[in-house]
A and B are shown apart, each in its own frame.
Chain A
């Protein structure tokens, strides 16, 4: 009772949000700032970090393996995200059609791969595409498409595409659900009015649905960018941590992991993390500006 009387409403507000911010400072913000400090040092994980200024950053911008990992990450991301965002939009439009039966079933099945453990899925695909024992080669051979097993894992481009395909597989259902939620927020009167004026379904899709969904599309691009830059679990398990062949599936976070936790170059690992962050921020701003300029024109 005394407690309730002594504190006014304002102070109890702070009281309720305090635990969150204490934990956030201890396990969120402080480690981030500390990572930044470590990115300016040489730290082997055992001895004390030695301050070296921006030397790690100077090294990162000319490190061929880091640059390749950045290229791999974005290549894999773009190859997966473009079909992901277009096909899921089409599916969302189809699965909000009131005449279609079994909508809930299809939505659930398409979303399902999204919640499956990414690391396990990576290993599963790795097993399926194994040269000698994989089910894919055995299926192809048993129905007579190929005579000899194909060595998928030695083909750099194929392996990059395979990672993209896993990401597509895991995320198209998620994008679809977000588009569906967005579509349900659009009044059906717009499409109705256009239909009365004689617009075709395709015209309605491109001239009405897509422009009205623009904020949702931007949201999807930016969130998938942040997620895409962090790709780790699937390629790591797919290639048993190697990024094979020829570093083609070595993503930036895999390179970070390898540099810091396998080779003990923690300072440089932290630098890689911050370089990645800079790339994300830049690209998020660019995609925001691009979408704003476009809507100004139209």
Chain B
């Protein structure tokens, strides 16, 4: 009797164990499938950019072709894609530099100085995050035209000096990890306020700057509607607008279009594969601490 119950129990355990294993396997299957769905369009995009128009229009392609250089040379003939790259770098790089420097400065002001209206101004700044960017679009269009900044990269880069999210993010970091004693001792040593900011604060907040910098760069690289509206000269277009232009002009040249999409996304893929942990970490910090 005793033996029997033991063996029955054993059977139960192993069935349960097997059930658990099966549940786990199907969980991994679902997670894997979802991961495949996330990557597949980008895989196709790269494969399709290596084929001729004739191949693309005739059948489903899964493997790479050998017409990448051909597509590339046709693209270079039709649109100045390298110019687009450079414009995107100027816009994204310039925006990032301004965001980091002035974001750090503003965050430092809010975090370490007890002036009148400090809290009120900070809350006011946070409230502006609720305002959608489109609200300023048409006003900006006329106003930038009046001060002669329309159709210039500056029109897109300059507003980055007032990046509310960056200030909020860097201030969190300053509040938490830069003690006031550091400032006091620097002041006793006779350092000026700006010097303290440049020599002491900026080096200390590098981790926060790195996180927000990557983010700003990606955001500025992907920005579409402002350059679409504020720039008119083709030689000033960043990649996303150039891709839209390719769609408008060469909408039957599929190899060219796939290649254009691939080239506009490739830098983002590279940035992400290098910094993915840092990027994902800063999403979480920025969202939850508020």
Contact = CB atoms under 8 A, between A and B. Distances in A.
Interface of A: 1, 3-4, 7, 9-17, 19-21, 23-24, 27-38, 43, 91, 94, 100, 102, 104-113, 115-121, 123-128, 132-133, 135, 138-139, 141-142, 169, 173-174, 177-178, 180-182, 185, 216, 219, 226, 229-230, 232-233, 236-237, 240, 253, 256-257, 260-261, 266, 269-270, 273-274, 276-277, 280-281, 284
Interface in B52-105: 56-57, 59-61, 102-103, 105
Contacts of A118: 222, 224
B247 interface: yes
Interface centre among A20, A31, A110 (most CB of B within 10 A): A20
Interface in B123-140: 125, 128, 130-140
A36 B142 CA distance: 12
Interface centre among A31, A107, A174 (most CB of B within 10 A): A31
B218 to A, nearest CB: 5
A10 B280 contact: no
A38 B139 contact: yes
A115 B279 contact: yes
A30 B139 contact: yes
Contact of A138 (B60, B159, B225, B288): B60
A142 B162 CA distance: 53
5 contacts: A117-B239, A119-B264, A120-B265, A124-B258, A177-B280
B94 to A, nearest CB: 13
B216 to A, nearest CB: 12
Interface in B226-253: 228-229, 239-241, 243-244, 247-248, 251
B132 A277 contact: yes
How many chain B residues sit at the interface, stated as a range, is 35 or more
A266 B142 contact: yes
B121 interface: yes
A65 B26 CA distance: 47
B111 to A, nearest CB: 10
B190 A1 contact: yes
Contacts of B197: 16
A125 B41 contact: yes
A40 to B, nearest CB: 12
B159 A27 contact: yes
Contacts of A226: 130, 132
B162 A169 contact: no
Interface centre among B128, B158, B162, B268 (most CB of A within 10 A): B162
B35 A109 contact: yes
A133 B162 contact: no
Contact of B268 (A109, A116, A270): A116
Contacts of B225: 232-233, 253, 257
Nearest to B282: A177
A27 B162 contact: yes
B222 A109 contact: no
Contact of A257 (B130, B133, B229): B229
Contacts of A43: 142
B114 interface: yes
A17 B139 contact: no
Given A10-B116, A14-B109, 17 more contacts: A20-B103, A21-B121, A28-B159, A31-B136, A100-B27, A108-B277, A111-B280, A113-B38, A120-B264, A123-B244, A123-B261, A124-B258, A127-B254, A139-B60, A177-B284, A178-B283, A178-B284
B120 to A, nearest CB: 12
B136 to A, nearest CB: 4
B41 A173 contact: no
B29 interface: no
Contact of A27 (B56, B140, B247, B283): B140
Please list the 9 inter-chain residue pairs (A to B) with the smallest Cβ-Cβ separation, ordered nearest first. Answer: A13-B113, A16-B109, A35-B139, A181-B284, A34-B139, A31-B139, A138-B60, A13-B115, A31-B136
Nearest to B109: A16
A141 B58 CA distance: 11
B162 A23 contact: yes
B206 interface: no
